Structures are given as structure tokens and as C-alpha cells.
Amino acid sequence: MRKKLKIIFLYLSLLIIFIVFLFFGLRIKWFNNILDYFNIITIQENKYQDTDLVITAINVDHGDSLLINSKDNKNNRHFALVDTGTARHSQKVIKCLNKNKIKKLDYIIISHMHSDHMGGLSEVLKEVDVDEIVLPNYFKVKSQLIRSNKVRKLIKNKNIKIKNIKPDTKILIGSAEFNVLYPIVKEKQKLPKDLNNSSIVGILKYNEFKMMFTGDATTEIEEKIIKNYKQNKVRCNILKLAHHGSQTSSSLDFLSYIKPKYAVVSSGYDRDILYPHQDIKNRLLKLKINYYNTRTNGDIIIAVDQKNYKIYTEFNK
């Protein structure tokens, strides 16, 4: 009898511990990862999975990787990946691709040649087929991409096209258009010393919805965009903050010019400073721009239909 009571007490204790962790742990990052592993995720996918356009800012810590998932007029889905994050966090990108049952990407757009934006490329290429890799329009940028033996072999074996993209080019992803604004460079121009200044900047457009992708573009590039494009062309609903919300980007003039309602920050714990920088937070607050951060929100999902868009987050913080 005493032995049975001990067993019952043990099971009750374990049950209480589990309930406590369930109650208090739902907002803890690692606990959400455990739930996700068992496919019990906090994002209510049924709310957006069949939407015309879905953009996912993948939680790749201090790096960038955004998945574009768009229907065409025949209801077929097309996919593009803007950056691949670091090699260290490439499994998070692959996990997102697998969750969306993606076997082939129409495009991988590499904003620029920094490892936190393209370090995970080889791991992604192992996992899925890709029609075309899009690069900034600079001399020898292709040779930088394929200097890794792994990347070079995968591109050759899978017969993947590589294209240097020019400004004012439109990349069709289903019914959505990715309109390239920058780099504005001459043919065969050398890469700038600061590779952030080679970042592809583009606007993804679907009906009246616009989202700007910025890589790590600095204020120098922002000034060129203000100078070269009329405000009605670059105004957007959502801005992916450049350089993870660093103070090198997102000037007050630029934010005022493009007038986003929301901003998305892709940042993590890999740096001493937690981004966005306080100066950027102050600017966003001044202009009443609400922002979401992968560090605290996890994956950020923007679901766009014919007339509206909604933002969902993995962690409700």
C-alpha cells in the first residue's frame, strides 16, 4: 500500500511540474521551440496559410532570411527566399521551408555578400532546388559567391542560374512583383569597401500592398533612393529595417519619406547590443511606426489578400 502511494505521489508531482511549465513556459523561447518540435505551435497557421501572399521573416538570430510565398493567377504557389541567414542558423531556414512543404524556390535573392545574409546558402541549396540566384549588380560578386567549393558544386550540379540584377528590374514571384531600386551602378563597377553599401533594396508589391526589403543598406543608400525615386513609388506599408535596426541606417529623413506603418527587425542575441538601437527606437516612436522583432516575436508572418494584410507572430511578446 505504501509503495502504491509513493508511485501515485510521484506521478502527481510530475503532473504538477508539467502543468507549471506549461503555464509559465509558453512565453519562454526554448519552450516554444519544444512545442514547435511536436508541431504544437503558437502561430495559428490556419489563419494565413491559404492567403494570396505570405511573407515570413524567419527568426535566424542576428541575420536576415525572409520567405516570400505567393499565388499566381492559376492558384499555383511560387517561392523566393531573400537571404539565407548564417550557416549556424541555417536549420531554422530549412525548418521553415519544410513546414511550408517547399521543394523548389523560384529565386534566392542575396542582398549582399555578408555571412549573416548568405552564410547558410550551401545548406539551403542541399535541401531544395532553385531556379535562379539573384545578386547585386557588381563586378566579381559572382566569383565571391562561388568561392566556396560546396556552393560552386551545388550550383553546377543543380544547374542553377546566377543573375546580377539591375535597378528597375521586376522579379515576378507568383502574382507579386519584387521591384529593384538599388544598387544604381554602372556595368562592372567594383564592390564598395563597405559591403553594406552594395545591398539590394527592393519593394515587393501585390495590389496596393508594398513591403520594402533593404539588406544592410546604410544612410548613404537611403539618400540616393530619396534622390532618385518619387515618394509615391517608394512609400510602403511595411519596412524591413536595414542592418538589423542599427544606427547606420533608417535615418529620420528616410523613414519620413517612405512612411511605413510597420517595421520588421531581424535581430538576435549574437551581439553585445540588442537591436534595434535606441536611436532607431526613438525615431520609430516619433513617427508612430510600430515594429516587430524576431528576437522577441520569433517568426513574423505577414499575410496579404486582395485588399488587406495582417501580421502574426510566433511568440506573443
Report domain extents, the chain.
1-40, 50-313
Joined together, the cell numbers standing for residue 47 give 489563419
Domain 50-313 has CATH 3.40.710.10: no
Q: What confidence tens digit (pLDDT) does each residue in 252-310 have?
A: 999 999 999 999 999 988 776 788 999 999 999 999 999 999 999 999 999 999 889 99
- For residue range 46-102, list pLDDT tens digits in order: 567 779 999 999 999 999 999 999 999 999 999 999 999 999 999 999 999 999 999
Per-residue pLDDT of 120-147, as tens digits, reads 999 999 999 999 999 998 988 988 898 8
Mean residue pLDDT across the chain? 88
Q: What was the pLDDT predicted at 13? A: 72
b/e string for 131-159 if b means 16 or more Cβ within 10 A? ebbbbbbbeebeeebbeeeebeebbeeee
What pLDDT score does 167 carry?
84
Full-model pTM: 0.85
- Work out the percent of the chain whose per-residue pLDDT is above 70: 85
Give CA–CA dist 199/110, Å, rounded. 9
DSSP-derived letter for residue 237 is S
